[in-house]
Amino acid sequence: MKIATRLTSLILVLLFFILNDTFAQKFGYVDTDYILSQMPEYNEAKGEIEKISKAWEQEIQNMYKSIEEMETSLQAEEVLLTKEMKDDRLKEIDLKWDDVKAYQKKVFGFEGLFFLKKKELIKPVQDQVFDAVEKVAKNHRLQIVFDKSGDLVMIYTDPVHDYTDYVLEELGLGDKNDVISNN
């Protein structure tokens, strides 16, 4: 019952804004995932990020492998070691495990090196897209521009409000044979 009341209220508010010209707003949407996929700079940045990620993953794998080899060696030599020697080796192995886990967190943890590198490489490309979206919005007098690829759920989109091609054109990535019409 509450949902129906809220939905009715929402519909009435939306109708008020739509019917009242003083509050009428023009809106559109773009698909930034599609736009980014058309940008060579973005694809290069993604490739660089993947290459860096794989290098860090390999480095961490090698660290794990080294510790596992230390454990295997300890097991093989265990009968020949005194209790003190065994305890020292176990402490060394534990320290190595702590080090590799700390390094992994430093690289791939929240706001770690990987996150910072990704931000460094992707942000300039995203800024280009946002600048182009802003220009398109101003040129077409849009007050609101939604991102179709974002978390905002768009159940229905009328292609007449899709400004993705305009943003691609603004970035110089539009299809030369494609004529944009906003009927």
166 CB-contact burial (10 Å; exposed 0-12 / middle 13-18 / buried 19+): buried
The answer to whether 45 and 122 have CB atoms below 8 angstroms apart is yes
Residue 154: per-residue pLDDT: 56
pLDDT tens string 100-149: 999 999 999 999 999 999 999 999 999 999 889 888 888 888 888 888 88
Q: Tokens for 163?
A: 């400004």
Residue 182: what are its φ and ψ, rounded to 5°? -120, 65
Closest Cα to residue 28, out of 151, 127, 143?
Answer: 143
Q: Tokens for 23?
A: 């509050």
The parts of the chain modelled with pLDDT lower than 70 are 1-24, 151-158, 176-183
Across the chain, what does the average pLDDT equal?
A: 83
pTM exceeds 0.95: no
Residue 133: per-residue pLDDT: 87
Q: What is the radius of gyration, based on Cα positions, of the chain?
A: 28
Q: What is the DSSP letter of 161?
A: G
